[in-house]
Homo-oligomer: A and B are copies of this chain.
């Protein structure tokens, strides 16, 4: 193996304590010894052992992050923000792909516990009691991203889903649309499901537009396929619709794909607005108008909050992140 702090101490004729002090720049050594030690470190190519350090300091400078699907554009953008920030703050991140599987999630939580990570960021899934319990056991700070829990007092960072959905729908209305359908995710999803539907309804209601339950199609996810499959249903049943609000960009793009197959021109014959502002939104044809979630920043903020909790030992406030409409080319101005 490589040289240890002992080797350095010996060669520099000092104690390991002194070397340690220098390494952690704690007070207690002369300029000369520091120089001498640094030189030896250089010569030996000494690299401190973070594992040993972690054993005594009880800090591993590592955080764990759980994603339902690391390879999704959604998750990877958040990961990017977390990683950049954690790195800046001197921590590494261990990624965990839960695959939306309870068993697997629990296994990961346990793993993270054994690895003694300093904290964990839990994203996009609903926090079950089981998760919460073991998270509490771990005795480490936790922050939720793109999810929240009403039952458990954990800080979260997310946009206001209802509000964002309201904004999206309102945008459609302000562009002259009144026959607006919605492609929703899972009805039962307490985070990305129901609230967005509520926001949609609220906007219609506030603008005096009647709400028709048949205008909402519920799916079992937020993917391209769900959008693609559900669009024909609305195209067929609701021919009078001029605009649709999709609860995710992937669904929006799926819907556009289906519309294309059906020979429906977007935005000429039908307007569509998405939700998320993933990379794909600007790459679609035509580019997708959408309500943006600041995913990168959400990751960034989460990492910072975690760090803050670590540093101060106290808890922090949740953060409602701002959302905003990104106007591109899929919504037509009516009238």
A95's partner among B79, B111, B137, B253 (CB-CB below 8 A) is: B79
- Closest chain B CB from A60 CB (angstroms): 6
| Partner-binding segment picked from A113-121, A147-155, A162-170 | A113-121
A51's partner among B51, B94, B110 (CB-CB below 8 A) is: B51
- Say whether A92 contacts B94, CB under 8 Å: yes
- Say whether B60 contacts A71, CB under 8 Å: no
- Closest chain B CB from A96 CB (angstroms): 8
Known: A47-B110, A55-B55. A71 touches B62 (CB 8 A): no
- Closest chain B CB from A42 CB (angstroms): 14
Ranked nearest first, the 5 interchain pairs of A and B with the lowest CB-CB distance are A71-B80, A76-B76, A50-B114, A71-B76, A50-B115
Q: How far is the CA of A72 from the CA of B283 in the complex (A)?
A: 13
- Closest chain B CB from A180 CB (angstroms): 22
- Say whether A47 contacts B114, CB under 8 Å: yes
Chain A, residues 98-112, CB within 8 Å of chain B (1/0): the string is 000000000010110
- Say whether A93 contacts B92, CB under 8 Å: no
- Say whether B283 contacts A285, CB under 8 Å: no
Chain A, residues 18-33, CB within 8 Å of chain B (1/0): the string is 0000000000000000
Give the chain B neighbours of A52 by CB distance below 8 A: 55
Give the chain B neighbours of A285 by CB distance below 8 A: 256-257, 260, 284-285
A-B contact pairs, 27 of them (CB 8 A): A2-B137, A47-B110, A49-B55, A49-B116, A50-B115, A51-B55, A51-B60, A51-B115, A62-B94, A70-B79, A71-B76, A71-B77, A76-B76, A76-B79, A80-B97, A83-B97, A87-B97, A92-B94, A93-B95, A95-B95, A250-B283, A253-B283, A254-B283, A257-B283, A257-B287, A260-B285, A280-B283
Give the chain B neighbours of A210 by CB distance below 8 A: none
- CB of A229 closer than 8 Å to a CB of B: no
Q: How far is the CA of A45 from the CA of B260 in the complex (A)?
A: 57
Q: Which residues of A approach B to under 8 Å, CB–CB? A: 1-2, 45, 47-52, 54-55, 58, 60, 62, 69-73, 75-77, 79-80, 83-84, 87, 92-97, 108, 110-111, 113-116, 137, 139, 224, 250, 253-254, 256-257, 260, 279-280, 282-287, 296
Q: How far is the CA of A84 from the CA of B69 in the complex (A)?
A: 11
Q: How far is the CA of A51 from the CA of B54 in the complex (A)?
A: 7
Known: A114-B50, A116-B51, A250-B283. A80 touches B70 (CB 8 A): yes
Give the chain B neighbours of A79 by CB distance below 8 A: 70-71, 76, 95
